[in-house]
Structure 1
């Protein structure tokens, strides 16, 4: 391996460490800028190539910023608490089922980060108030954060990054992936019922069942935003404009009601993470032009047979769990795009469903584990809390469910395309 390629790998590792560890915002921003400057200074990627990469990623990053703000306003306005009121009452099976469906819906519409950061604590609190184990429903949130992001182009940054390589509109993407998602949901739900059958046998204790009023404005804006995605996609309008308009409306509404200050809106947008994504694009462009890009290119099949689609999905899974799914998307999608839409969609199955295989596969996995640890103070954690967030438990669930879901999803994709 050439020495300069090692420099690119070191820059990527630095970015991944930052993504995993979440240091102070300034540190994250400085590392991101430093990694980009490093690969530019060494000539691993040209200024023109880097500029083109940033321009290509800009709409995706703008969407990320907007949707994070939308989710934050919805959380402060009580949208997730209102949804969580549906979880109270009934036993552990009902809690799992409702949490599973809610998590799938939140992921599809508001992205996986909203599911792991905002919905998961609500689900855990509902389990505590009902006197049932929280682990099944908490894992429903985790699994849906990755798997349910198959449905819409806006459900995951991986989808948005791949969208320019697809000849599909917003509605066309959803129509193609909907049957695939249905199969994945059936597999995941059956798997969770089986894996947590003992916890699901615990009866619930009486709990308040009065519904919490749904905040009308945030719910309406989110609904209109989703409709806007579908309506403007055939016109070539990037989703970032629709999400940005929704974010502006909600920030103004929340500010007038004292729910959110302008500084809070900037914080919710996580500009340092946006910078990290742009830097990842530049660094991965350098790696793709080097040894790793050549190695992966040789592994990409030349057809779209059933076996070939499985190979693409498995390759995407491996790359996602080694590089994180965002980096893997930037590397793999351009290589499989010449094979057509079905090959790109197979890659997305590996990049979304497959990223749930290990803790490093998706940033959502790390955020989910951190969120659960933040829900309770160390002194208040129970044995169940410790087991839920343990690496052994995480990988017990993921290693049993992910391969089955992956094969089922590819099989469904092959049948519907």
Structure 2
């Protein structure tokens, strides 16, 4: 049974990574979930319980994807691209990518910001790689700040009693530390291109109107996430309201269509996440969950224990992808894990995927976006950038988290 469960998970991940003949991720995940239930690896009641538990999180994913699509339709990303000049392009992209990931989630950074950045670099006649790799790295590592920044965060925060603001307060310093490591490391990796970029005169961009309405709606939506958390309101409903406001305006102005909105919600990907949750639950019940629980047992909340949790999470993310890794680790941590341990795990599954293409779905999607833009990322350079930044970001990020937990005044 254990071998079958692992084989089904492996098949699901291979199809999700390779997408043979353009097949959607759900094309393997749904049959695998059906097999899991059909052969008794997981009872129908347990499978349904998994779907119910993941439901609000997947609903939020769909809503925030629509919100990001509407922000793009309102010109937010075109306006952001107009702010990018040749000089300090790297730094400006870094700031925009960090903010986009934190507020609109990592999918917006990959799907919407990366093409803008690549096209801006071409318009400015500079190398696109430094800024494009910033988008790839920060789609993962800049997602540590808020519960809504990453699907893994939403899954994990449900296992704790942390409010939106408490989560952000504990993760603010680790987020800043990780970003600092990424900035220094990526500047060093791309130092040659950046020297050439800064040696040329700046290019004056065409002025673009500020999308004031969309920016206000996004700001109010973010504030709504913080306000709704203490009231027990799921973030999915706040995202739905924000998306509805922008959708009404964009539909009236014919900047988008009902069909485009449905497509932006990525229904097949949402089904994939639900089916993946069922398959991962079966793997956890048949061996791997017990192994992870034994590895996590007794680590405690000291600095050494938190570093071990983050390292285990990073390794697992690069073996089975960050989303299955999060589901497996949450199950192994038990019903009432210490919040600081969950946050250390999030640093592992957030920063760790920058080591390999298969570490996160966002990185795989980024590679696809780059190929669509006519640029094939270099595996060697991606690996070098990961080795330069990821270990240091993991260690220093966890140290910052430990300091925030033990010295709240920081």
Give the alignment's TM-score, normalised by structure 1.
Answer: 0.93
**CA offset digits 1:217-241 (Å, max 9, x no partner):** 2222111110100001000111001
In the alignment, what sits opposite 1:43? 40
Displacement after TM superposition at 1:24 (Å): 7.1
- Bigger shift: 20-29 or 271-280? 20-29
Displacement after TM superposition at 1:325 (Å): 0.6
Structure 2 distance, partners of 1:140, 1:301, is: 36
TM alignment of 1:11-410, pairs within 5 A: 11-22=8-19, 28-88=25-85, 90-91=86-87, 94-202=88-196, 203-302=199-298, 303-336=300-333, 338-376=336-374, 385-386=375-376, 389-410=377-398
Displacement after TM superposition at 1:316 (Å): 0.4
**CA offset digits 1:27-62 (Å, max 9, x no partner):** 544433211110001111111111111111000000
Displacement after TM superposition at 1:252 (Å): 2.0
Structure 2 distance, partners of 1:194, 1:175, is: 30
What root-mean-square deviation, in Å, do the aligned CA atoms of Structure 1 and Structure 2 show?
1.5
Equivalent pair of 2:106/2:139 in contact (CA under 8 Å): yes
Aligned pairs, number: 401
In the alignment, what sits opposite 1:412? 400
Displacement after TM superposition at 1:71 (Å): 0.9
User: Where does the alignment leave 5 or more consecutive residues of structure 1 unmatched?
Assistant: 377-384
Give the alignment's TM-score, normalised by structure 2.
Answer: 0.94
Structure 1 distance, partners of 2:24, 2:113, is: 28
Displacement after TM superposition at 1:11 (Å): 1.8
Displacement after TM superposition at 1:206 (Å): 4.2
**CA offset digits 1:223-280 (Å, max 9, x no partner):** 1110100001000111001111112222222111111111111111110000000011
Equivalent pair of 2:355/2:387 in contact (CA under 8 Å): yes
Structure 2 distance, partners of 1:368, 1:394, is: 12
Closer/same/farther in 2, CA of residues 153 and 5 from structure 1, 3 Å limit: same
Closer/same/farther in 2, CA of residues 104 and 311 from structure 1, 3 Å limit: same
User: Where does the alignment leave 5 or more consecutive residues of structure 2 unmatched?
Assistant: 406-410
